[in-house]
Structure 1
């Protein structure tokens, strides 16, 4: 497999250093612009991004620590694979953590919090044909649930798997385009939080994540059955 040039995006400012390179590469891995299995090397990346090899090396180490790239015995790294078994494990962890956040959000939500959740659902409904916007607003919705719950331990654990969650969320969102499923599921979560019903909020959140996991599995299976 040949190495893709990262020249398709704006080059990070030199003074931003490794963090800017890391964030750019991370976004491209999550979006699929850098596909699973793509080989990344310091010389090619530094030349394409117009930075020295030092920030590239540091960025690749950060991505490796996050599990988004894996080291090759011959040098360089490869974008981590996406597969059904990994997707199931990530979803199982996410479902439990976000289910707990939804439960605890019911105990802390104010009327203003609930109104914000419903506004986000309405925005999602308005842009349901655009996967990038659905993903962005969906992320905001889940972020609001996390903020309302105020559980620092859950938040820290979610951050550790955040890149992996987002990679699989992209696949699921693309299979929902044009449907109202995503909107309906978020609306049900917002309604349960507004009703102060923690049991239903947790169950609805977990069902939503499990539905997304099923969509992800379908997308991964379809990829594997495409003739080469």
Structure 2
């Protein structure tokens, strides 16, 4: 039991560190993962490393090649665009439905998240955390099980691209302004307005992501 627990803890540590390196671009798109070298670098055995790699492959943050090799996936502009387009549609739907279902307590909770987002807008990681929490809260209020299921699948993919949209202070300020407008529309029970704000917010993130990865020469197109 203790051995299994230790192995799981080790795999979680490796997973967290590899994921951080992928999302921060320390491991650049197209990089091949060599198990012996990575095992040495992370000071872990091959077993927890392989478990972590399998988990990252399941999340599409690593890619299994037909030859057996494992790569950090390339950034495909077409795939990025499609991903954000679907996310925009889902966020718009959930914002619309949240208008009909939000209680006074829900609005108070959204306002609390918005206040924390505003307080932390100068700090990339914290601003992202509260922005993500606000979107999750809107999804929870909408309580559309199918929309949430698809949204949860997309969120794990979008996480790879938040690095590109969250580092610039002006982009964080823009996102905060959008969040304010979204909470105001939901509180005022204006479904069309809330849906449009949510949609445009995600499309703005899409466009910024595509701009940055193109400027950095990271896209495969």
The TM-score by the shorter chain falls in which range? Answer: 0.7 to 0.9
Which deviations, in whole Å up to 9, do the C-alpha atoms of 1:92-150 show, x marking residues without a partner? Answer: 11111111111121122111211221222222222222222221111111111122122
**Partners of 1:49 and 1:193 in 2: how far apart?**
46
Aligned to 2:137: 144
**What's the TM-score once normalised by structure 1's chain length?**
0.84
Question: Who is 2:16 aligned against?
Answer: 23
Is 1:21–1:55's contact at 8 Å kept on the other side of the alignment? Answer: yes
How far residue 192 of structure 1 moved from its aligned partner, in angstroms, is: 0.9
Aligned to 1:187: 180
Separation of aligned partners in 2, 1:107 and 1:31? 38
Asked if structure 2 preserves the Cα contact closer than 8 Å seen for 1:130 and 1:177, the reply is no
Runs of 4+ in 1 over 4 A off after TM superposition: none
How is 1:129-168 mapped onto 2 (pairs within 5 angstroms)?
Answer: 129-168=122-161
1:44 aligns with 2:25: no
CA offsets, 1:24-81, max 9 Å, x none?
Answer: 3223322333222222122222223333212222221222222211224554311111
- Judge conservation of contact 2:84–2:206 (CA < 8 Å) in 1: yes
Instruction: Normalising by structure 2, report the TM-score.
Output: 0.86
Deviates more, 1:77-86 or 1:30-39: 30-39
* TM-fit CA distance, 1:223: 0.6
Structure 1 Cα separation of the partners of residues 184 and 43 of structure 2: 49
**d(CA) in 2 for partners of 1:15, 1:84:** 35
Provide the rounded CA distance (Å) in 2 between the counterparts of 1:23 and 1:112: 34
RMSD: 2.3
* Unaligned ranges ≥5, structure 2: 1-5
Native 8 Å contact 2:124 2:166 kept in 1: yes
1:184-207 superposed Cα distances (whole Å, 9 cap, x missing partner): 100011011111122211111011
| Alignment partner, residue 215 of structure 1 | 208
Contact 1:135 1:170 survives alignment (8 Å): no
Partners of 1:107 and 1:64 lie apart in 2 by 38
Structure 1 gaps of 5+ residues are 1-12
Structure 1 contact 106–196 (Cα < 8 Å) conserved:
yes
Aligned partner of 1:6 in structure 2 is none
